[in-house]
Amino acid sequence: MSESAGRPREISVPVSVFGSLRSELAKEAGTLPTVHALHHAGYHAGLAAAGTVHGEAGGQAFALGHREFWSQIGDYFSKRGWGALDYRAAHAAVGILSSTDWAEASNDEPEPDASCSFSTGFLSGLLSQLAGGPVAVLEVGCRTRGGPACEFAFGSEDAIHELYGRLLEGVDLDGALAAL
């Protein structure tokens, strides 16, 4: 990968690349391996993207205040066509990033499975690198499943695993967050 000024080289591709990758990988490997592969690829891309976020913050990403940090993250994604990304504090241990126009979400017919596996990994890698330690990310809402927004919960690995367990038990997101 070529880098200039500590930032990875970037290219633009049509948003349809996400659906094509997901579809072709699923044909070759199956659904679960596809989710894992996209998540891992996204994670590594997110690690690399942290340098760009830091650079775009004038080398001060680590010193930004809470509001400025999330504004910088939102600007990073918006400028690159990913969509508007909003932050909200959902719980002392879990934050939520939400987008009503997230690029990776399939715009086709609703499907039962979430589709933003690359994004989930990307956000985990990006936030982990910027935080200097592991940040787990879980897609908890998806436009592909017919929801109004793609939503990504993030926090410590323990908090996200506990949240995931409660969601698997059938508890809704608000109830799962309240039970943490």
Tens of pLDDT, residues 37-63: 999 999 999 999 999 999 999 888 888
Average pLDDT rounded to a whole number, residues 111-138: 91
**Residues 6 or more apart from 38 whose CB is under 8 A from it?**
21, 22, 25, 117, 118, 121
- Give the separation between CA 87 and CA 166, rounded to whole angstroms: 22
- Give the separation between CA 2 and CA 97, rounded to whole angstroms: 30
Q: What percent of the chain has pLDDT over 70?
A: 93
pTM: 0.92
Q: Which two tokens stand for residue 48?
A: 């690399």
Least confident interval from 3-7, 110-114, 142-146: 3-7
pLDDT grade for 1, boundaries at 50, 70 and 90 = very low
Domains of the chain in sequence order: 15-179 (3.30.1380.20)
Chain center to CA of 42? 9
Q: What's the pLDDT at 3?
A: 52
Average pLDDT rounded to a whole number, residues 112-116: 75
Burial (0-12, 13-18, 19+ Cβ within 10 Å), 124:
buried
Whether 153 and 136 have beta carbons less than 8 Å apart is answered as: no
The mean of the pLDDT values for the chain is 90
Q: What's the pLDDT at 107?
A: 65
